[in-house]
Amino acid sequence: MPMNAKLEPRRLHYFMEVLNSGSVRGAAGALGMDASAVSRALGLLEREYGARLLERRGRGVAPTDAGQLLAAYLHRQQGERQALLAQMDSIRKVESGHIDLVTGEGYVDWLAKSSLCRFMQTHPKITISLDIGSTDEIVQQVVGERAHIGVLFNPPRDDRLRSHHSQPHPIKAVVPRGHPLTQLGRPLKLADLAPYPGAAMHPNYGLRQHVQAAEISEGVRLDFAFTTASFDALAHFVTAGLGYALASRLAMTEADAAKVVALPMKNALLHRGRTHVVSRQGRTLPPAAMQLLRMMVGEMRSPGSSVR
């Protein structure tokens, strides 16, 4: 018998509760019902659907192929409903809520002076938590839904991440003015850096992972004098005249910026770096988080943005 055009919502709810509980008895307990009543409702649903939806598996039950199709359909339906409600809610003025934001340290200065500052000024009742982390830590927080939004350099390929916008950020060799490398007058190879002391981020940062890929492609291994989890520390290393730093961008005062030069690199891999604004794929963000995300993306697209 073909599936009816309309499935009885109550029976569908029982079916999903059985899948979540792993057994009819467990679902009955969660629903506050008799197990036989749940079984009867499932039997009616199977006749309505025209196929077996559940099969015994040990002490519990598991979905058949047909049951998996129905469960996937119901999950999609629920996701669409949540998205609709969020969109309807976003039409109304955002007045309260909480946003969890995680970013690489190198973007804190940009956020604090642009979209984050403006958002908090216009939405004083919305609270925001800002965490700083490595690329790996940012991905974990976003994928684990401990953060609504993440800002990071070159996230790994992961189907669980959704990139809302990305901005090119090539990696350069930042050196003190007057450094011998400034005399070469051409894009630098990694081998050009080898004779001099240098600084880089720790290996769990996307920027360093990009550098490692370039090292492999050129057959060069750089022995860094200084590695760190802090972009500020990289900037201080260079402004103190201690050597070069490989970075896509460093937040500096105007006085410190005048002390350094950013030299282009020759390796094409070092030109592929991009800054991404990400969220969890398939997650419906609360209206407040969605509004902040749009402001961040708009700021990144602005020609005068300090994140460029």
Mean pLDDT of 246-255: 81
End-to-end Cα, the chain, rounded Å:
60
The model's confidence at residue 90, banded by pLDDT at 50, 70 and 90, is low
pTM: 0.61
Q: What is the pLDDT of residue 30?
A: 87
pLDDT beyond 90 at 9: no
pLDDT tens digit sequence for 13-50: 898 899 888 898 888 898 899 989 989 988 998 888 88
Q: What is the pLDDT of residue 294?
A: 93
pLDDT tens digit sequence for 251-292: 777 888 899 999 999 999 999 888 999 999 999 888 889 999
